[in-house]
Amino acid sequence: MSPDSVSFIFLNAFLINNFVLAMFLGLCPFLGVSGKINTAWSMGLATTLVMLISSLSALFINELLVYFQIEFLRLICYIAVIASAVQLVEMSMKKFSPGLFKALGIFLPLITTNCAILGLALFQTSKEYDLAQSLAYSTGAGAGFILAIVLMAGLREKLELADLPNTSKGAAISLMLAGILSLIFMGFAGLGS
């Protein structure tokens, strides 16, 4: 597979350079919303949706910025687009599935400050991906995010039942778990060569 092919870009974002476990993007929801599998799943879906929308808009906006030679405004434009995409997802979710809207609560507007989304937009710009490649990159990144957060939620549900010493309860043991997950994902590094 050549590094520019659509299937490789998808696989790269999905497994080899997993956004959460290999590139440390989107850790806040990864540690914050991974208490239950159900909420983790819907959080992953909402994030993927925002990723798709903002990645496509970023592609279009970057063309405009380059055309007018105002690239220094890139960061501000991207974050504004992401904030509006999140608002859009929030409104449609409120209308079509109020239950999910309630379950995600405060974490829904916080998708704006999920670095995975801004990171995705910035990386695809610096790698100069075209439309098909950007689509593959954002779906791969979204699928990778869902995979990581659902795996983590499953592990943490089991952890609830484990008999831990008081000292290691909470964030400390979750981080250790994430470390081991990340170690496992390093095994995918061979896929690229």
Partner 1 sequence: MPIKEDHTITADTFLSGIWKENPVFVMLLGMCPVLAVTNSVINALAMGLATTFVLLCSSALISMLRNFIPKEVRIATYIVIIATFVTITDYVIQAISLELYNALGAFIQLIVVNCMILGRAEAYASKNRFLKTMTNSLGMGIGFTIALLSLGSVRELLGNGSLLGYSLFGDAFQPWVVMVLPPGGFIVLGAWLLLFNWLKERKENLSLANERGTS
Interface contacts to partner 1, rule CB under 8 A? 21-28, 31, 72, 75-76, 79-80, 83, 109-110, 112-115, 118-119, 122-123, 126, 166-168, 170-176, 178-180, 182-183, 186
What phi and psi, each to the nearest 5 degrees, are found at residue 62?
Answer: -65, -40
Provide, rounded to whole angstroms, the least separation between the CB of residue 184 and partner 1: 9
- Give me the least distance between CB of 158 and partner 1, in Å please: 17
159 versus 175: smaller Cβ distance to partner 1: 175
**Which CB sits closer to partner 1, 71 or 97?**
71
Shortest separation between residue 28's beta carbon and partner 1, angstroms: 6
Structural Rg of the chain based on CA atoms = 17
Is residue 37 within 8 Å of 159, Cβ to Cβ?
A: no
Q: Nearer to partner 1 by C-beta: 64 or 176? A: 176
CB of 169 to partner 1, least distance (A): 8
CA angle 165, 36, 18 (to 5 degrees): 95
Residue 161 or 171: the one with the smaller Cβ distance to partner 1 is 171
Task: Tell me the H-state helices in 69-130.
Answer: 74-96, 98-104, 115-126
> Tokens standing for 90?
């929030």
The neighbour count for residue 17, using CB atoms within 10 Å, is 19
